[in-house]
């Protein structure tokens, strides 16, 4: 059944390329937002706001997480007369597919007193230029002339994205309807553990979102501060986006680190730490090329090396390391466009999977990973029936690239290539280590074939689809 589904996916990609672009983003859950005044012109100014997006601890497998948002606003009526209005707050948005999800547990207070709000229909802020209406929370509030009024809003947000990454949004633009500029704003992303460049992605986009620049790390928080600004528009402060490693995935990293500290001479603990780093580094759509991603890459390599130094005959850990190396080499080639110059990681990946196959040629997990690597290093490892050849690890590599071949469209028999299976069947540390194959650098490395169908995005997308058919870790 999975083989059939995979074939249908590939055919759909070939037949309807425009739909691939349309479905590139995940469902868009309702963002957080500043409150908006009524439709009338107002003399009420938002003098200050403090918004805290507190990411909650999470243990549900592959969850994108939730955040609890608290937002406090200091409002002042600059006019000579009192103003009473029906202010509003967005509670729903179109998700980019077919749904209209809503935020949860909304509470509104004015000067410390809870307010009852009502549902009203207004334009969807999640779809620019759309005339579609969605539910908003509308509440009555009075702003006495010359006086300060405090608004307090809190609610729960759902993370958006693709595991192991998640994204939270906060819309500042709705605050543009108040009088003049916003005096000051402090936007705080708070994590349940230390915030750093490894778990908050600041330097690159992830396809569906880019973390807003200018954030400063401070303990468990990332902070942004703005003064006297008009949100939105050219040259102004834009809406906020926060891209981070999902809480459950990062907590896996922290748990694996703690276990390594407790059992520093156990190969399995080092292997599980390496796997946790690999999950965060590779994600599901790309490798991370930001500064924090490079740190994760180095930590992952170190953990695999430590694992294999303690258990050199474990075929599955060799295969898992090979997968990390092969994917890094592949995506590096796409970024640098150096298809004719394979990186050192390319040859090291071939050595690791070659060692794994020599140690356990019939292991389904090892064979599954080897099959996947044929899509990343297409001429360096070649499947021949039930065996694999390694032209780039021989003295006489192929002088010219072979004709392009189709990417296999049948899924392997075993679905989980790294996951828990990677850490099972560990040989005893007393086993005699297998001699690793000797690397011989080819004198003329064959150039890798161009992606299929004339589309630079097709091969990575097919590979991504193959990985999504596997059990996730």
Mean pLDDT across 137-160: 97
Same domain, 48 and 192: yes
> What's residue 278's pLDDT?
96
The CATH number that applies at residue 87 is 2.60.40.3680
Same domain, 356 and 279: yes
CA 209/CA 26 separation, integer angstroms? 10
Number of domains in the chain: 2
The answer as to whether 347 is a domain residue is yes
The answer as to whether 293 is a domain residue is yes
Going by DSSP bridges, is the β-strand pair 66-77/44-55 parallel, antiparallel, or unpaired? Answer: antiparallel
> What's residue 14's pLDDT?
33
Same domain, 315 and 438: yes
Domain that holds residue 78: 2-247
How many residues comprise the chain?
473
Dihedral angle at the C-alpha atoms of 226, 229, 231, 235, nearest 10 degrees? -100
Mean pLDDT across 123-136: 81
The answer as to whether 358 is a domain residue is yes
Same domain, 67 and 137: yes
- In terms of Cβ atoms closer than 10 Å to its own Cβ (0-12, 13-18, 19+), residue 77 is buried
The answer as to whether 189 is a domain residue is yes
Same domain, 218 and 279: no
Mean pLDDT across 38-55: 95
Asked if residue 6 has pLDDT above 80, the reply is: no
Asked if residue 72 has pLDDT above 70, the reply is: yes
The answer as to whether 90 is a domain residue is yes
pLDDT, tens digit, 9 for 90 and up, residues 207-258? 888 899 899 999 999 999 999 998 876 666 778 999 999 999 999 999 999 9
207 phi-psi bin (left φ>0, alpha ψ -120 to 50, beta other)? left
Mean pLDDT across 324-351: 84
CA 402/CA 143 separation, integer angstroms? 75
* Residue that terminates a domain, selected from 247, 277, 295: 247
The CATH number that applies at residue 452 is 1.25.40.10
Contact assessment for residue 95 and residue 177, using Cβ atoms and an 8 Å cutoff: no
The answer as to whether 258 is a domain residue is no
The answer as to whether 37 is a domain residue is yes
State the alpha helices, DSSP H only, in 374-437.
Answer: none
For CA atoms 316, 322, 326, 327, the dihedral sign is positive
State the alpha helices, DSSP H only, in 360-411.
Answer: 364-373
Asked if residue 50 has pLDDT above 60, the reply is: yes
The answer as to whether 256 is a domain residue is no
pLDDT band at 94 (very low <50, low <70, confident <90, very high): confident
Same domain, 203 and 314: no
> What's residue 364's pLDDT?
96
Same domain, 315 and 406: yes
Same domain, 239 and 368: no
């Amino acid at each position: 059944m999975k083989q059939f589904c995979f074939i249908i996916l590939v055919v759909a990609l070939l037949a309807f390329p425009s739909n691939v672009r349309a479905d590139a983003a995940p469902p868009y859950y309702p963002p957080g937002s500043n409150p908006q005044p009524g439709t009338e012109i107002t003399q009420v100014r938002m003098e200050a706001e403090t918004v805290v997006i507190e990411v909650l601890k999470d243990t549900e497998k592959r969850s994108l997480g939730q955040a609890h948002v608290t937002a406090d606003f200091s409002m002042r009526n600059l006019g000579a007369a009192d103003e009473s209005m029906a202010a509003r707050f967005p509670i729903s948005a179109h998700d980019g597919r077919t749904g209209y999800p809503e935020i949860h547990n909304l509470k509104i207070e004015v000067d410390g007193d809870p307010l009852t709000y009502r549902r009203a229909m207004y334009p969807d802020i999640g779809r620019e230029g759309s005339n579609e209406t969605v539910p908003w929370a509308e509440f009555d509030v009075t702003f006495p002339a010359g006086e300060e009024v405090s608004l307090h809003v809190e609610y729960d947000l759902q993370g958006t994205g693709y595991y192991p990454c998640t994204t939270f949004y906060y819309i500042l633009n709705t605050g543009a309807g108040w009088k003049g500029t916003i005096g000051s704003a402090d936007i705080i992303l708070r994590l349940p553990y230390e915030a750093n460049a490894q778990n908050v992605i600041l330097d690159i986009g992830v396809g569906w979102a880019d973390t807003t620049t200018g954030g400063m790390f401070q303990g468990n928080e990332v902070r942004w501060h703005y003064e006297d600004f008009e949100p939105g528009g050219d040259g102004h402060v834009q809406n906020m986006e926060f891209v981070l490693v999902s809480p459950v995935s990062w907590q896996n990293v922290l748990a694996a680190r703690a276990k390594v500290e407790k059992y520093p001479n156990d190969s399995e603990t080092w292997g599980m730490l390496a796997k946790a780093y690999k999950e965060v580094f590779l994600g599901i759509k790309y490798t991370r090329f930001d500064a924090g991603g490079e740190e994760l890459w180095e930590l992952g390599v170190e953990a695999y090396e430590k694992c294999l130094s303690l258990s050199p005959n474990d075929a599955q850990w060799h295969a898992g390391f090979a997968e990390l190396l092969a994917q890094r080499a592949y995506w590096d080639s796409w970024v640098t466009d150096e298809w004719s110059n394979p990186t050192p990681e390319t040859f090291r990946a071939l050595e690791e999977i070659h060692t794994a196959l020599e140690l356990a040629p019939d292991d389904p997990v090892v064979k599954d990973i080897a099959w996947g690597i044929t899509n990343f290093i297409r001429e360096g490892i070649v499947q021949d029936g039930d065996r694999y050849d390694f032209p780039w690890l021989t003295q006489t590599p192929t002088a010219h690239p072979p004709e392009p071949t189709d990417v296999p469209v049948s899924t392997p028999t075993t679905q989980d290539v790294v996951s828990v299976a990677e850490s099972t069947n560990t040989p005893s540390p007393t086993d005699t280590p297998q001699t690793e194959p000797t690397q011989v650098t080819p004198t003329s490395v064959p150039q890798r074939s161009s992606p299929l169908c004339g589309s630079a995005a097709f091969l990575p997308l097919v590979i991504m689809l193959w990985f999504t058919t596997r059990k996730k870790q």
